[in-house]
Amino acid sequence: MMSIKIRKIILIAIVLGTLLMIESFNWQIVESNNKAKNLQVIYQDISDKELMADMKTISLSIGVQCGYCHVVIKEGSEDIEPIYDAASDEKQNKLIARNMMKMTNLINTDYLAPIVGDNKNHLITCVTCHMGHIKPVSNIDSLFIH
Ligand code: HEC
Ligand code: HEC
């Protein structure tokens, strides 16, 4: 017969082991899937965390908030974030932004990748043109309007 102490230790080990398994299983689901329903340009397997980081970068790059592209379902307040229907394609700005993503990817893959080689940080992003503004400087005259 095993002593009660040993049986207790084995029981605790089984419980801890099971908890760890459940924990890592959940983690895998969270890492390899996201809740996004309507990604057409961004790669499908992006994690929610990475998607949010990308969205924040895009917003900063062109100097806007999420609601510039996404339909607001519930207005936020000082300490509560607004709620968006981010999958909706209702807002024209989101459609323009999606085309901008395609354009940026095309410039990178077709025109820049062949010349930048391993210097991936020399590829362009939204901020290359927009520099924090909705309307980029598009010609020398507009430099003086900005
Ligand atoms: C300049 C426009 C723009 C801004 C600003 C923007 N987004 Fe997006 N967002 C998009 C586009 C375009 C897509 C779809 C990308 C695609 O089709 O691959 C998208 C997709 C998403 C999705 C995935 C929705 C789904 O179910 O498919 C979420 C979530 C999201 N955005 C959240 C945010 C949040 C939160 C912010 C603010 C931090 C934000 N976005 C700012 C343009 C924008
Ligand atoms: C090669 C330069 C370039 C890059 C890169 C670029 N844009 Fe643009 N974008 C422009 C130009 C030029 C316009 C037209 C601005 C105007 O109407 O005067 C524009 C317009 C827009 C508009 C519409 C603004 C408005 O109301 O007129 C949005 C939104 C936008 N870009 C988002 C993005 C996002 C998001 C990215 C990155 C995925 C991006 N852009 C990358 C050049 C660029």
Q: Residue 103 Cα, ligand 2 centroid: separation in angstroms?
A: 9
52 and 18 both lie in a single domain:
no
Confidence of residue 22 (pLDDT cuts 50, 70, 90): low
How far separated are the first and last CA of the chain, in Å rounded? 84
Q: Residue 115 Cα, ligand 1 centroid: separation in angstroms?
A: 30
pLDDT in tens, 40-80: 999 999 999 999 999 999 999 999 999 999 999 999 999 99
Write down the pTM of the prediction: 0.84
Query: How far is 141 from 146, CA to CA, in rounded Å?
Result: 10
13 and 81 both lie in a single domain:
no
19 and 54 both lie in a single domain:
no
Q: How many domains does the chain have?
A: 2
What is the domain extent for residue 120? 48-144
Residue 59 lies in a domain: yes
3 and 63 both lie in a single domain:
no
Residue linked to tokens 């932004």 = 97
Ligand 1 and 70: CB distance under 6 A: yes
Q: Residue 124 Cα, ligand 2 centroid: separation in angstroms?
A: 13
